[in-house]
Every structure is written in C-alpha cells, then in structure tokens.
Chain A
Amino acid sequence: MSERRRHGGRNALLLVAALFALWQAIYWAVGDIALSSPLATLRYTAQLVTGEDFRMHLSDTMRAFAIAFVLSVVIGLLVGFWLGFDRLSGDALEPMIVTVYAIPKLTLYPILLLAFGLGLSAKVAFGVLHGTIPIILFTLGAVRNTRPILLKTAHVLKLSRPQMVRWILFPAAIPEIFTGLRVGFSLTLIGSLLAEMFASQRGLGYLLMNGIGLHNIELVMSVTLLIVVFAAAVSTLLLQVDRKLHRKG
C-alpha cells in the first residue's frame, strides 16, 4: 500500500515537472506576447499572494465557493434521496435534470443575474447550479440501484424506515455518493469562478478578467496557476478516497 502511494507521489511529481517543461517550451516558441515564463509567473505569483488586495479576493472567492458547495451537497443529497426513493417523481424528474445538466449553464447566467443581482448571491447561485446536479444524479442512481436483497434483509431484520436509510441505504450508497461529491466539487468551483468572471468586482475570477482586460499576462497566468493547483490538489485527494471506497464495496 505505502509502496503504491510512493509510486503515486512520484508519478504526480513527474507529471508536474513535465507540465512545467512543456510550459517553458511553449513559452520559448511563442514568446512574451501570449505567455509568461514559468519562472516569471512563479515570481509574480509570490508577489501577488503577499499583496494587500489578494487576501480580499481570495476570501471572497472562497466564501462564495464554500457556501455554494455546502448548498450543493445539502440540496443534492436531499433531492437525490427523495428521487431515488420515490420512483414516480424520480422517473418524471430525472430526464429533466439530465437535460438541464446538458445545456451550457452560461446561457442561464443572465437570468440568474436578474434574479440575484451582482455579488455574492449570484456567485453562490451559479456555483450551486453547476454543482448540485451531479450530486443529485449520482445519489439518485446509488439509492435506486441498492441491491434488492439488502432491502429484503432490512425487512427481515424489521428495521424501521429511518433505520433502513441510515444503516443500509446510506452506507450502501456512499461510494457512489462520494463520486457525486467529487464531481460536484469541481463543477461548483467552475460555476462560482465563472460567475465572478462575468459579473463581479471582487474575487479570483474578477482578477482573471481584470488581467485579460489590462492585458496583464503575468496576472492571468498567476491566477490560473493558483486555481489549477488548488483544484488539482483537492481533486487528487478526493479521487484517492473515492478509489478506496469503491475497492471495499
């Protein structure tokens, strides 16, 4: 097991090194106009994160993201369990949810803006719009696909309905639900950043758009780097837990 983990760690390091090498190579090829070099970007990033405003932008993004993710999880689990249980509603609503999931949610953004205005609530709403659907779908699928024999067992052991949910349905569904949470995490982050990019005066998304507007390539690259590192680190962690959960089941 630890052998495997060391292996995984080395692979991750190799991957990061390779990406940096690729970045450097592209930089040499296209030059300063479109890209800043890895070294310059890192230097700029160090400056950026120690600067005055950065903490405000970061905490803004994090607050919106955290609220959005918590809401996504709560709504996603509740709706997912409800639709998983209630065959009739599930059959009726699942296709609609899948459809909403498939449309580019950016097209809904103007409507959200009208409803929520600029600022925190719009960011949260947009994050939730992205994050909650995969959690609903994975949870619904997990509950619905619980092996019937486990439900029969619950019946034979005379479990009450809440006991059945807590002791059988929920633990049986956890690996799938966790996958939903992992996907929901990434999409919530994308959603709240997108919202910041198009209508906000604060946050990392705003910084990014600002950099593009001012043609400040180093700023754009730095913010992107920070977001990528954060998302990749959390995703890797979640993926590892995910794999472990699925192995046991």
Chain B
Amino acid sequence: MTTQVALSNVGKTFPASPTTAALHALGPIDLELQRGEFFAVVGPSGCGKSTLLEIIAGLTPATQGSVEFEGRRIAGEAPDSIGVVFQEDASLPWLDVTENVAFGLRRSKLAKDERDARVRDALRLVGLSDFATSYPAQLSGGMRQRVCIARTLVMQPRLILLDEPFGALDQQTRLLMGDELLLMWRATGATVFLITHALDEATMLADRIGVMSARPGRLIDVVETNWPRERDSRIVERSEFGAITARLWKTLREESLKTIGRAVPKPAADA
C-alpha cells in the first residue's frame, strides 16, 4: 500500500465579509488515502465535507496545513490525475451525451481514435451506450450524473472525488448506482473519495469510512469495513453491515444533534 494523498493539519477558515463574520469551517484534519482504496466520508450537514473535497481537488486553498498528492504539494491548482464529480448536475445541456463525455478530453492531445475509444469505454462502463446521441434534457437525473461520471472517467484519473453524487436520487437508484460505482472502481483501479450523507451507502461501498464532527469538521472516527474487493450491494445482507452502520450512527448521532440544535432559532444575542 502506498500513500497517494496526505493531509496534514489541514484547515479552512473563510474570511469575514462585510455581511458575515469569519467562519472556521474545517479542521484541523490529518488523513492519508492509500492508492486504490475506496474511502467514504460521512458527517452532519455543514460540517465542511464539500470544503474538504474542494481543497483536495485544488478548487480552493486550505488556510492551514498542507495537502500532498503523490508526493507533491497541492497549492490551489490540482494535477490532471484528479477527477471530480459534484452533487449538482454538471452536464452541459447544449452537448449530447457523447460530446459531454468527450468534453473532458478537449484539452488533451490524444489521437482521435484513442479519444473515441475512451469515450466508448466510459459510456459502456456507466451503462449509457444506448443513449450516446441523447441530450441531457432527455435523461433522468441519475443518467445525467452518470454522464458526469463518464466525463471524469475518460480522463483516466488516479483519484476520483465524488461529492454526494447520488444525493438527489431515490433509494433504489442509489443502491444500483453504488453497484456501478464499485464496478468502475475495480475496473479503473483508481482511488475513490466519496462524500455521502447516507450511512448505509458509506458502509456498503467503502473500505474505510471517515466520520466528521460538526463544524468545524474534524475526523472523529475512521472505521474499516474489511470487505473483499469483489463486492456489490448484496453486502447489506451481512451481519457486519448492520454493526458497522450502527457504529457510524452512534458516533454521528451526537454530532448531528449539535447541528440540528444550532439550526433552532435562538435569542438575538446569538445571531
């Protein structure tokens, strides 16, 4: 096992603006991701999960600590070998599915047939081969999210970051998408870093699960599942599945209550 991503003492404080006070959103966090592992993150909403992902993706700089990817420090701009899938639909409505997926390769200098081959493979992997010429507006939310995943896959990233990619989907679709994600993970050999708010999803998919505290988010537990690499959603039948999910919930319950408590209106002095 080699370390691919190393976060040490990483934190983020959003500076004050004319209308808001400075906000300590995240950290400090120490975490190492092993090459090829499937790492999931759960935590109460607003605890800084997306912020953490954006720091690793190079979309926003950390205000404290350091992030290393494959031995090199990430400062603002991340290397090409990191792919990102967001919660929100990021498909491009003016392009059809094939063009959307190929969009990830526009900047690359690959030969045309290599490019076409990669797009075809990615479409097959996410099960969209039959919709190659459809436009996003003609697809369901889950299919559009798969378009975005395929757009990331064609770039053959060695690390894939997903920010609640199935958050907007119904439960059955989410389980099936989970299966596809596992397939993709095995097929590509990439490291997967998945943020989710669904504990069962984290348990079902990940090798390790990081549990974050309420804001400012810190890692308060890291749970190993010890699943075999060959696995799918039927893993929910195992007795360990319930035990792991229960452990996650035990840790998270208190933290989530804090978040909810914070959302309850308080006297003006607190505002």
Q: Give the docked Cα–Cα distance between A25 and B59 (Å).
A: 68
B137 — which chain A residues lie within 8 A by C-beta? Answer: 247-249
A149 lies within 8 A of B59 (CB): no
B93 lies within 8 A of A156 (CB): no
A157 nearest CB neighbor, chain B only: B104
- Number of contacting residues on A, CB 8 A? 19
A159 lies within 8 A of B94 (CB): no
A153 lies within 8 A of B90 (CB): yes
Picked from A152, A167, A171, the residue with its CB within 8 Å of the CB of B90 is A152
Q: Does B92 contact A (CB under 8 A)?
A: yes
B92 — which chain A residues lie within 8 A by C-beta? Answer: 150, 168, 171-172
| Known A248-B93, A248-B135; contact A155-B59, beta-carbon cutoff 8 A | yes
A172 lies within 8 A of B94 (CB): yes
Q: Does B227 contact A (CB under 8 A)?
A: no
Q: Give the docked Cα–Cα distance between A8 and B63 (Å).
A: 60
A249 nearest CB neighbor, chain B only: B93
B94 lies within 8 A of A156 (CB): no
Q: Does A174 contact B (CB under 8 A)?
A: yes
Q: Does A7 contact B (CB under 8 A)?
A: no
A167 — which chain B residues lie within 8 A by C-beta? Answer: 103, 106
Q: Give the docked Cα–Cα distance between A216 and B59 (Å).
A: 70
Q: What sequence of 0s and 1s flags, for each residue 166-184 of chain A, a beta carbon within 8 Å of any chain B beta carbon?
A: 0110011010000000000
A171 — which chain B residues lie within 8 A by C-beta? Answer: 92, 94-95
Q: Give the docked Cα–Cα distance between A171 and B96 (Å).
A: 13
| Known A155-B59, A156-B59, A158-B107; contact A149-B86, beta-carbon cutoff 8 A | yes
B80 — which chain A residues lie within 8 A by C-beta? Answer: 158
Q: Give the docked Cα–Cα distance between A249 and B94 (Å).
A: 6
A152 lies within 8 A of B107 (CB): no
A149 lies within 8 A of B90 (CB): yes
B138 nearest CB neighbor, chain A only: A248
B90 lies within 8 A of A150 (CB): yes
Q: What sequence of 0s and 1s flags, for each residue 151-165 of chain A, a beta carbon within 8 Å of any chain B beta carbon?
A: 011011111000100
Shortest Cβ distance from residue A176 to the other chain B in the assembled complex, whole angstroms: 12
A156 — which chain B residues lie within 8 A by C-beta? Answer: 57, 59, 83-84
B107 lies within 8 A of A149 (CB): no
Q: Give the docked Cα–Cα distance between A145 and B106 (Å).
A: 24
Picked from A152, A155, A157, A248, the residue with its CB within 8 Å of the CB of B94 is A248
Q: Does B121 contact A (CB under 8 A)?
A: no
Shortest Cβ distance from residue B261 to the other chain A in the assembled complex, whole angstroms: 30
Q: Does B89 contact A (CB under 8 A)?
A: yes
Shortest Cβ distance from residue A136 to the other chain B in the assembled complex, whole angstroms: 23
A156 nearest CB neighbor, chain B only: B84
Q: Which of B230-271 contact A (CB under 8 A)?
A: none
Q: Does B88 contact A (CB under 8 A)?
A: yes
A158 — which chain B residues lie within 8 A by C-beta? Answer: 77, 80, 107
Q: Give the docked Cα–Cα distance between A247 and B80 (Å).
A: 34
A149 lies within 8 A of B88 (CB): yes
B94 lies within 8 A of A163 (CB): no
| Known A158-B107, A159-B107; contact A152-B93, beta-carbon cutoff 8 A | no
Q: Give the docked Cα–Cα distance between A164 and B86 (Å).
A: 18
Residue contacts A-B, CB under 8 angstroms, 7 given: A152-B90, A153-B90, A156-B83, A156-B84, A158-B80, A171-B95, A172-B93
Give the top 8 A-B pairs by smallest Cβ distance, nearest first.
A149-B88, A156-B84, A171-B94, A153-B90, A249-B93, A149-B90, A155-B59, A149-B86
